[in-house]
Structure 1
Amino acid sequence: MKRSERRKKKNKGLRNFLIVTALILSVGIVYAVTQYYSGLSLAKEGMENEDETLFEEFEGADPQFGEINVLLLGSDSRGDEDARADTLMIAHYNQTSHQMKLVSIMRDTYVDIPDHGYHKINAAFSIGGPELVRKTIKENFDVDIHSYAIVDFTGFSKIVDVIAPDGIEVDIPYAMSHGIGMTLQPGEQVLNGEQLLGYVRFRHDIQSDFGRVERQQEALSKLKEQAVSIHSIMNLPKLLGVVEPYINTNVDSRTILTIGKGLLIGKSEKIETLRIPVENSFEDKRVAAGAVLSIDFEKNKQALQQFLSTEEETATTELDKADSLETKE
């Protein structure tokens, strides 16, 4: 065979490869766009048009050493309370270890809100939005918050149904019905999005608000496990479309993609969790604002900083590497 003929065949093969690759990419782009708008359409079903809430400018510091602290605020707006944050969490992500940690701060924690005196910590949101919550956390626990995300829980059920279309399995300790518009029977149950929302919203708990916080952390951990499945990765564009109308955030797209990629390819299977106040560091008190949790600030500050510390994550990562080497040997 002549050299020119071989070159023609080689060029033809390369051309065919490029055409097939272009077709695959085109199909992928069309699929992603279609899925995104499908999710957006799903999210907007039943939504009312509301003006975007304006907050004081958020002045969170830039993340350092690959560690990001995102303030998560959730509103359980059922008409019986004002705009106070019903759920207050700190999501901590380390870009080196790909470790995700989740801190729940009890909404009745009695803290010093800068320039406003002592109140329940969830009052900071209604007074000054996420920026005042950031200042309050810095003032009381000396922890820097870099970004925030306000989650409208009316979209929670739709998000769950996209991530876990077959439902999420939970072990319900006792019948739950009051205030959630349904009855959840005790025992192991597979819950769809609407039912899981009822599960995490239920307030009339034997453990009071502590039980509700535990269920919220449990639900988020199980959703994270589902999110790394092939099904969820394929539905990622649709999920982004579903989530968008229900989240008000200053986290840029690049950071979201970095965290998402890290969670998908990272080896960490579970989200580590912490509750503030920690055990044996608080007492129930009654003040003018009602029942509050009066906490030992030094003990809780130390616990929170230690939980979020790089040293702890580095030590865990080194142990994982050592275990991996021993297994190979």
Structure 2
Amino acid sequence: MKKKRDKRVRWGRVFSALLLLGIFMVGLFTVFQYIEGTFKAINQPFQKAEADSFQGEENTTEEVNVLLLGSDSRGEEGARTDSIMVAHYNPQTHKVKLISLMRDMYVNIPEHGQQKLNAAYSFGGPELLRETIKMNLGLDIHHYAIIDFKGFVKAVDLLVPNGIEVEIPYEMSEGIGMTLEEGTQQLNGEELLGYVRFRQDRLSDFGRVQRQQEVVSKLKEEAVSLNSVAKLPELLDLLSTYVDTNIETPTILTIGKDILTNETGDIQTLRLPADGSFENETYEGIGEVLEVDLEQNKYELEKFLKEDN
């Protein structure tokens, strides 16, 4: 009996740490949490549908890069990811940085030629996307995490039942199945997902990426201010269904502890391609793309990761 109880404690801590990783994804969208204690037993192992094929180095003791993906249909053949982010963690400085990659960047995908970045996930899941990011931007990815947007909506409503306050610059309705009025609004999970996924932005897809980063920061603030763990068992059961990751327990607990104790400070963000490093182009059979200067973006990425260590 003692052996069984120890197992329950261990998995409780693992899922607690993964809870905010699911919230972090926003479409996405990416934060971690560390909670000690015993929660009710989880009846199924954490899902790792893509873990066997993912080739990122898992046991690095240096800086850690986690590929964060948001998808409507995790695990389905041909599915595309609606958001692509990389969460960067430095264990020496305890800092977390967030890199948003525009899905329409025109890049070289191994064995598939020039395509939009998010096509890599459709062709070969997180592993091919990892290879593509490494080939084009020189960034090593060590782990991945995928969250189905249904899980994001349900988790937000449980975690923040009164919603998140945002400033909506103009009416948003097309393509999101709802109407979000201009002005200061308190958005629930479904509305928040519509807010970050709205594509008919006056700033094109760049506005959508800005909103994703905004919501990530606000959700982190809400999550680390929790004074009660009463809802955690239900949230953990929920996210065990909707999150797929290969992140090992020590990494989750280390990052989660720093975030919960606010050692990480504010999340620094970067969007690629950087301003002035791309042109809008249209190619037959592919559509509108961002033709990027890869060398300039490699430089901007390296500078961002080195700033303040």
Fold agreement, TM-score > 0.5: yes
What's 2:142 paired with? Answer: 146
Q: Distance in 2 between matches of 1:52 and 1:58?
A: 10
1:114 aligns with 2:110: yes
Find the counterpart in structure 1 of residue 100 from structure 2. Answer: 104
Query: With CA pairs under 8 Å and 6+ residues apart, which has the higher RCO, 1 or 2?
Result: 2
Separation (CA, whole Å) in 2 of partners of 1:175 and 1:185 = 5
Pairwise CA distance, 1:181: 1.6
2:180 alignment partner AA? L
Q: Secondary structure at the match of 2:252?
A: helix
**How far apart, in 2, do the equivalents of 1:291 and 1:281 lie?**
16
Does residue 93 (structure 1) correspond to residue 89 (structure 2)? The answer is: yes
Shift in Å at residue 33 of structure 1? Answer: 1.6
**1:204 to 1:97, Cα distance in 2 relative to 1, 3 A:** same
In the alignment, is the contact (CA less than 8 A) between 1:85 and 1:122 conserved in 2?
Answer: yes
User: Counterparts of 2:135 and 2:236 in 1: how far apart (Å)?
Assistant: 34
Between structure 1 and structure 2, the one with the greater Rg is 1
| Residues 106, 292 of structure 2: 8 Å contact kept | yes
Offset at residue 97 of structure 1 (A): 2.3
Whole-angstrom distance in 1 between the partners of 2:83 and 2:137: 18
Query: Is 2:294 the counterpart of 1:313?
Result: no
Assess if the C-alpha contact under 8 Å between 2:87 and 2:98 holds in 1: yes
1:182 equivalenced with 2:182 (yes/no): no
Contact 2:48 2:245 (8 Å CA) reproduced: no
Among all aligned residue pairs of Structure 1 and Structure 2, give the percentage whose two residues are the same amino acid: 54
Distance in 2 separating the partners of 1:147 and 1:313: 23
Question: When the two structures are superposed, what TM-score results if normalisation uses the length of structure 2?
Answer: 0.80
After superposition, the C-alpha distances for 1:136-192 in whole angstroms (9 at most, x for unaligned) are 111111110000011111111111123322211100001111121211111111111
Structure 1 gap segments, 5+ residues each? 1-27, 41-50, 315-329
* Aligned equivalent of 2:287, options 290, 294, 304: 290
Contact 1:163–1:223, Cα closer than 8 Å, also in 2: no
| 1:33 corresponding residue in structure 2 | 40
Superimposed CA distance per residue, residues 75-100 of structure 1 (whole angstroms, 9 cap, x where no aligned partner)? 145xxx95121111101112232211
TM-score, normalised relative to structure 1: 0.75
Aligned-pair CA distance for 1:197: 0.9
The two structures, once aligned, show a CA RMSD in angstroms of 2.4
Is the CA contact 1:55–1:130 (under 8 Å) kept in the aligned structure 2? no
More off after superposition, 64-73 vs 231-240: 231-240
Q: CA deviation at 1:56?
A: 6.5
Give 1:193 deviation, angstroms.
1.0
Q: Between Structure 1 and Structure 2, how many residues are aligned?
A: 268
**Matched residues in 2 for 1:284 and 1:172: separation?**
26
Q: Is the 8 A contact 1:55 1:128 kept in 2?
A: no
